[in-house]
């Protein structure tokens, strides 16, 4: 993956190299490395950006506090529920849509566009529309009324708010992963199916023994990428519920946001952000491992 430069550049070009690299080096140092380290230091301190004079060292206090903080634990549990509740559904639905769009003989292009569109629109727009549809007199309750089902206060009821956000999230992002699955399906060699047909394999057998193994890496890739994205769920919570009712939709990033920018406990918030970093890094390393595995097998998507 790295270091296959074909031509070794002349060494006297060193100031050229520095000139070319400098924008990145500067951005990297100022807007990435420094914030990352400063955040780590802050997690061992008490600090407020807007009152920098009240800075004090706190040792491991912030990290100990996490363990006994019911709100943080709730936000962790909520995020876990969100990830476990959405990621498999989104992935399965994306695969189903991709298979259907791939096999339908008429209108596959337009179906693909319709399913894909929500994923490139700002999630805030989506949340705004759903906020209206979820309202007590909104479209969802009117739809349920057709079947004689009682309406619900979707975003106000403690047990319904999180599922409502999850449903919206699934609606919004499935099309993106469908596009990835479509690319993977296109890359499966046609000869495999032809050979299987000669051998008398039925369609289920073809799916089970050819399609699934052939798109295996894409499935793992989608699961990991989707998990990483879902751990960071925030704008939809901010737009729809602000973490309520009674903390039932308070996710980790939302809790981090509130701790830092509403309660101005930026040291403690930094400790939360490092817990998030640990979780995301673990999944990112898994992602790299998966991608390198794909590289070894030479199974390219294109």
> Which parts of 4-33 interact with other proteins (CB under 8 A)?
4-9, 11, 13-14, 16-17, 20-21, 23-24, 27-28, 30-32
Asked if 115 touches other proteins (CB under 8 A), the answer is yes
- Interface with other proteins (CB under 8 A), residue total 106
What dihedral do alpha carbons 232, 235, 241, 247 form, nearest 10°? 20
Name, in order, each residue with C-beta under 8 angstroms of 278's C-beta and a sequence gap of 6 or more.
none
What is the C-alpha separation between 16 and 103, in angstroms, rounded?
Answer: 52
Asked if 263 touches other proteins (CB under 8 A), the answer is no
What are the Cα distances from residue 187, in Å, to 107, 196, 253?
Answer: 21, 17, 37
Q: Which of 276, 290, 294, 299 binds other proteins (CB under 8 A)?
A: 276
CB of 21 to other proteins, least distance (A): 5
Interface with other proteins in residues 186-245 (CB under 8 A): 193, 197, 203, 221, 225, 228-229, 231-232, 234-235, 238-239, 242
Q: How many CA atoms lie within 13 A of 289 on its CB side?
A: 8
Q: CB nearer to other proteins: give 55 or 60.
A: 55
CB of 151 to other proteins, least distance (A): 13
Nearest Cα neighbor of 168 from 106, 119, 107 is 119
CB of 239 to other proteins, least distance (A): 5
Cβ 39 vs Cβ 47: under 8 Å? no
Interface with other proteins in residues 124-153 (CB under 8 A): 124-133, 135, 138-139, 142
Site stretch for other proteins (CB under 8 A), options 67-75, 76-84, 93-101, 146-154: 93-101
What are the Cα distances from residue 244, in Å, to 75, 156, 241?
Answer: 11, 8, 5
Name, in order, each residue with C-beta under 8 angstroms of 212's C-beta and a sequence gap of 6 or more.
219
Interface with other proteins in residues 159-188 (CB under 8 A): 171, 175-176, 179-180, 183
Site stretch for other proteins (CB under 8 A), options 56-64, 83-91, 146-154, 271-279: 271-279
Q: How many residues does the chain have?
A: 302
Q: Which of 73, 88, 92, 113 binds other proteins (CB under 8 A)?
A: 113
């Amino acid at each position: 993956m790295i270091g296959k430069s074909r031509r070794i550049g002349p060494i006297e070009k060193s100031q050229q190299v520095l000139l070319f690299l400098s924008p990145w080096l500067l951005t990297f140092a100022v807007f990435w490395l420094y914030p990352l380290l400063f955040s780590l230091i802050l997690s061992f301190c008490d600090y407020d950006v807007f009152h920098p004079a009240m800075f004090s060292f706190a040792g491991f206090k912030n990290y100990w506090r996490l363990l006994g903080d019911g709100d943080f634990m709730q936000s962790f549990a909520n995020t876990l529920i969100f990830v476990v509740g959405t990621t498999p559904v989104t992935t399965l639905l994306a695969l189903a849509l991709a298979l259907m769009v791939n096999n339908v003989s008429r209108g596959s292009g337009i179906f693909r566009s319709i399913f894909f569109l929500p994923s490139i629109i700002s999630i805030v727009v989506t949340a705004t529309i759903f906020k209206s549809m979820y309202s007590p007199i909104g479209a969802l309750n009117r739809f349920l009324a057709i079947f004689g089902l009682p309406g619900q206060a979707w975003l106000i009821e403690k047990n319904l708010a999180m599922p409502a956000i999850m449903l919206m999230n699934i609606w919004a992002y499935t099309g993106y992963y469908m596009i990835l699955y479509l690319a993977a399906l296109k890359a499966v060699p046609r000869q495999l199916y032809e050979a299987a047909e000669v051998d008398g394999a039925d369609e289920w057998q073809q799916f089970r023994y050819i399609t699934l193994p052939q798109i295996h890496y894409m499935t793992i890739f989608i699961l990991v990428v989707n998990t990483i994205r879902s751990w960071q769920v925030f704008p939809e919570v901010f737009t729809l519920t602000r973490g309520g009712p009674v903390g039932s939709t308070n996710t980790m990033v939302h809790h981090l946001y509130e701790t830092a920018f509403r309660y101005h406990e930026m040291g403690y918030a930094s400790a939360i952000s490092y817990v998030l970093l640990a979780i995301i890094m673990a999944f990112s390393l898994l992602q790299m491992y998966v991608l390198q595995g794909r590289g070894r097998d030479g199974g390219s998507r294109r």
